[in-house]
Copies of this chain bind each other. A is one copy, B any other.
Amino acid sequence: MNSMNRIMEDISIDCVIFGFTNDLKVLLVQHGEGISKGKWALPGGWITYDESLDQAAYRILYLLTGVKDIFLDQMKAFGAKNRFPDKRVVTVAYYSLVKTEDYDLVAGFTASDVKWFKPDEIPRLPYDHNEILEYAFRQLQNKVRHEPVGFNLLPEKFTLHQLQVLYESILRIKLDKPNFRRKILNMNLLMDLNEKQKNVSHRAAKLYQFNSETYDTLKEKKFVLDL
């Protein structure tokens, strides 16, 4: 490390990465060194003098977990006085939504392990990481209603049922199937692929894909999924 990329002593980054395949998951890393060695925590680290906050977030996430080429969104800076032991540290939290299947997890740098955790299996995390995570869950619930963002979490081809399960598991509510279908299909956001799912022990559902043009338009314009 040359003098230019020495770390800033009091600003860190933490990432909350939500993943989805059949259910919602969160990405955690196990600390391989330091005072909290062995503990699971949000992927995070120090920023250096020669990078922006955003660059730091991408670098740290990649080094620790192997996850890259995703869209990281800044969420909030956490700056309670004693959130970090023995030292005053402000952390800037980022968050993202990905399909778990798309990424090979590779523990690196100071991380000895990386794993997807179900929301109800998340252990007690160091510092204020549980608080950050809680905040991220609420953020996700809001976001999903105002941006067609939930779709990031699904495979390229998906059924309406998968989409419904996604919304149900994020919002923690039960939705009426026919009405959900009608609403989504009327938004013109999906392209019918004229394909069906395979290897299911019941009537196979149609597969859909995003209509990325409509998707981008809706992202710009007001999008409200009032479920």
Contact = CB atoms under 8 A, between A and B. Distances in A.
Interface of A: 8, 10-11, 47, 49-54, 56, 74, 76-81, 88, 90, 92, 142, 145-146, 222, 224, 226
A54 B80 CA distance: 8
Nearest to A56: B79
Nearest to A224: B224
Nearest to A75: B76
B81 A52 contact: yes
A116 to B, nearest CB: 27
B79 A54 contact: yes
The A contact surface, by secondary structure, is mixed
A80 B92 contact: no
Which of A47, A53, A56: most chain B CB closer than 10 A? A53
A11 B77 CA distance: 11
Contacts of A224: 224, 226
Contacts of A146: 142, 146
Contact of A10 (B8, B54, B142, B145): B8
A81 B226 contact: no
A47 B79 contact: yes
Contacts of A52: 79-81
B10 A88 contact: no
A14 to B, nearest CB: 12
A148 to B, nearest CB: 15
Nearest to A49: B88
Nearest to A74: B76
A50 to B, nearest CB: 7
Contacts of A142: 146
A24 B105 CA distance: 49
A205 to B, nearest CB: 28
A137 to B, nearest CB: 16
Contacts of A145: 222
A77 B77 contact: yes
Contacts of A10: 8, 10-11
Contact of A226 (B47, B56, B79, B222): B222
